[in-house]
Structure 1
């Protein structure tokens, strides 16, 4: 008998209750994403959802990998997501814009810009490694005060 382990990440999670269900289902990870859900004026952004999801998931599973997809436009967006607890971010629109403007060279240019912005943001926060990033670097009061 051959046993194959498959690691599954639950995607398009935007509500903490869904994240808790994913933890209880023993998924390997969660992808916080609203897949264009910001097309409505008052929908929650993925960075806002990430903060709530981290708060709901961490007491249940401190090792679950949580990724964020959507809304990444600058290196500071990456810094915010990782500081809130994301393992990594998924980047779509900026990469596609680079691709449409200049093919592979355009994608490389976009990723180079994001990398430089991220490194600068880390430096300005006094952090030398990604492991030093945490939510104490962010002012998060406004995340919960939008009504």
Structure 2
């Protein structure tokens, strides 16, 4: 209980009110069938963002999406959500090439782009890095961020012996799981 010092009355502590925020922000009625409805009102390709498991990737394909974005939305909603790089390969394998898989989350360096492509992503999204550049230096900052990522990516390719993006393969990266197995 809290006390209002000016009136000396006891106040009810309603906490952070996160439950009310969630109720007002998220529509609990959303389901996979909503993709069918969305497809009925547009000819645009439907990409679904927030896929973190093979099960959801398969459901997304069954629902008819044109592409999947592996994303944990910056892990802002659930601090225990898996990192996107740790689940990317699982989703890519589940999709079996039926739709492109895009990668979103934690891309800060050219090596991050390289790793995501090596694990099967067709492309990466670089939203947060671009926002940082925009906040720091406006349009020039965005251009600098993109150039920095491009330069780092090309250097990583060169150091890995890759002359083109098509040369980047799974053999170019080792996951934490593989590192653990190698130590045993």
Q: TM-score, normalised by structure 1?
A: 0.86
Give the Å deviation of 1:143: 6.6
Specify which structure has the bigger relative contact order, considering alpha-carbon pairs within 8 angstroms and separated by 6 or more residues: 1
Q: Counterpart of 1:92? A: 127
Q: Counterpart of 1:130? A: 165
Question: Equivalents in 2 of 1:140, 1:46: separation in Å?
Answer: 12
Q: Counterpart of 1:51? A: 89
Q: For 1:9-48, what aligned pairs fall within 5 Å after superposition?
A: 9-37=47-75, 40=79, 42-48=80-86
Question: Equivalents in 1 of 2:109, 2:122: separation in Å?
Answer: 17
Give the Å deviation of 1:94: 1.3
Change (3 A) 1:81 1:20: same
Q: TM-score, normalised by structure 2?
A: 0.70
Give the Å deviation of 1:52: 1.1
Taking only aligned residues, the RMSD between alpha carbons, in angstroms, comes to 2.0
Q: Counterpart of 2:116? A: 81
Q: Counterpart of 2:103? A: 68
Larger C-alpha radius of gyration, 1 or 2?
2
SS in structure 2 of the partner of residue 10 of structure 1: strand
